[in-house]
Structure 1
Amino acid sequence: MGKPKFILFSLFFATCFYSFTLASYNLDTPLSNMVRDQIKLEMQASLFYQTYGHYFESSDQALHGFAKYFTDQSLEEKKHADKLMTYLNQRNVQVKTLSEVPEFCPKLKFKKLCNFITGNKTKSDLNIDIPLTAVQNAIDLEEKVFDELEKIADGSDAQLSHFIEHEYLDEQIESIKELKDYETQLTKINGSYIGVLLLDRWLMEGKQNKL
């Protein structure tokens, strides 16, 4: 092979190799859009928890343990969104400006509390067990987040699947289990104010709660 042909062959090989590497490194458009949608959902969850946290902080409820729990969850969801945005940058994908976070209430199984907190209903419509309903709303939200994360980690991009499985899915399972434990405890309390105050105190202290 002559030197000019060798040089052309080398350039052709390098171009093909670079294209292959770039295609493997860059995240494809459908997956990029799924990650962006997940960022919106995480931010939506953060606002949802923030709103519930301030509701329990109000004098109408004065359940500061529940307020702390939901506020901590809000910060955690924001961290999840930040981590996904950093990941997109690592995979050479533009994060882009987030669109307005839509209201989450219509997606919930038990909408009354969410509708009341966001101003869509009057207090007379709120004939429910408020702490229990709040926890059930949180379970609903976390299960929806888990379902969407599973769709992203479907194996079509091995590295992305690894990232989601190790950074998100395990934590989601733990959060759902914790919330389901609270749901069981609140169901057994059956509206007892003393029981709710005891659980609220434990939430404030950040303990594992078993009644």
Structure 2
Amino acid sequence: MNVAWIVAVVAGAGSLAAAPAQATSPIRTPPRPSPASFQVPGRPFAQPSPAAPQATALACAVSTPSGRPLVFSPRVGLTPRRVTARGHLELTGCTSPDGSATFLRSGWASVRADAQASCASARQVRGRAVITWFGVTGRPLGTSTLRIRADRLVAQQPADTLLTGDVSAGRLLGKHVRGGITPPAAILGCATQGMAALPGHGRITFG
């Protein structure tokens, strides 16, 4: 037997035994794809939309009846003092933007409220109004009791506080109410003579 061949075989076996074993790589779990990875090319990824504001259940024109303005006792003057307001309001042309009160077409409100008021401001308003509702045929369709409440100072149009509050009973229960009354012309002489009556018109909303 060839000695050189034996030496070559032995040397090869030794080199194989000395070779270290190959380390096994750990199995790695691929990361979960993010929602953005599913985005369709050319189309923005949809984001959750914010909550929509509460819709208006009813909106009406409001005015004092002809020849029957709101009355104040004592007269509203230049300096703030406690005043009581009484009167009636007509609600006409009512519409229901959210479709929940389409059967209410008009109303008649009796209002009484107390406030710390002057010619230019009102606050600490507390009162009550009862609205009788009518349908398209003029038939009565129930009532709403409005709890009038306005704590913050209201300037420029103090009579607007008479249309601020919440429905505490009857139709539209729980709805927030707000509105405004604008006199047909500037009220002159309030600071010097006082104001005992206020005619006007505006808008009122429920919801």
Q: TM-score range by the shorter chain?
A: under 0.3
TM-score (normalizing by structure 2):
0.24
- Give the structure with higher Rg (CA): 2
TM-score (normalizing by structure 1):
0.23
